[in-house]
Structure 1
């Protein structure tokens, strides 16, 4: 009788926590979306019409509102990185692509379940993720529908669509018109974080922010000295695009601006 060949392959270890996490291959989507298209979005008439308890049930009845907003949050890397670092700060990601926003929503739900079933000795990160959420929204059109005046302390624009062609520059997420809305939502002292691997876009965003009277450039060293080093590190490394640039040994261009209070005469 022929000997049965021994199978040295081991069964993959089943990790319930890992099994819960969604897989990107099931959420195929174009890299970018046209912000001027009709995306059939449902949006609140104003921030006071939002039931934030559905987004942050663990913080219901606390009166807390989102203070960090990640515009074009992609697959949620920044939110996931910052959640355990700022457990008492609510954060909202805004993503226009339906499949990508659904992925982030499913990812957050899975992480919350994982945290709820974690061992008491689990890392601190496992105890959080209740403070992050995502909405499918077009921030270029509806950002004031989500954030009241001076409600944000941090506003992130990480690796946005470059819109290389001149005729498409009007679709860039940083523009004089939109900066007025960002200044409205950001409280004095709040920070706008921008980063890109496209130097032309970096110069575009930086020049428009410098020209706007309610924003003032602040260098990376100053922000780190003010204790914002963990945020800067996450801006550089937490997103899928940021990691892709690193793999390709590309450059990353960071520009940060502080919302200032203009003194009335």
Structure 2
């Protein structure tokens, strides 16, 4: 099942995607919708107003409480960046204003000349969870989406802390939709991931190359903070970023 947040008449609505049609779920966005404990049943049974395509996709989650990102989580990417495999996840955060819809323009920071791409699988939380074990962590995942952690490398590497290069406003497309965790499309252990720039495939990987899988990340982060419905965990990017090319390439 695919869920999304779309823009309608200067507002947003949470919807279920049925082919080219969106079915209203009765809430303004997915963050509010996922706060219903019985959201899976509500999503399946929804028979609200229908919106025909083309659809204007907002960020799949609008103003989530937290966006937690993971660095150095694909083995190939870790090697291309000249680092050792981590013993613990490397975490940083984004602010909600960094997020844009999947088909929105990315606003390149005027103060950066080294803006890079990072295609990622992202986890969306569907139930409040704290100090989760692996089973509880898996159960707390509403589903998965796609995120591009567009990064200002010259700002990222100004200090050992990456945050300042990662959260420029309107730089992070997320969506267009959330695929629920029970959907056959995401039931497989490995999911393919690719990124194209100007028609060139610059990243191509399988999530089986992750060092820390989604459930492990949910459990780890929930040991630090309570994860709430609508929170996002970006699971890291594979090899092929522009900064690591023999001749660096930027957006």
- Based on CA coordinates, which of the two structures has the bigger radius of gyration? 1
In terms of fraction of residues, the more strand-rich structure is: 2
TM over 0.5: no
TM-score, reference length from structure 2: 0.29
In terms of fraction of residues, the more helix-rich structure is: 1
TM-score, reference length from structure 1: 0.28
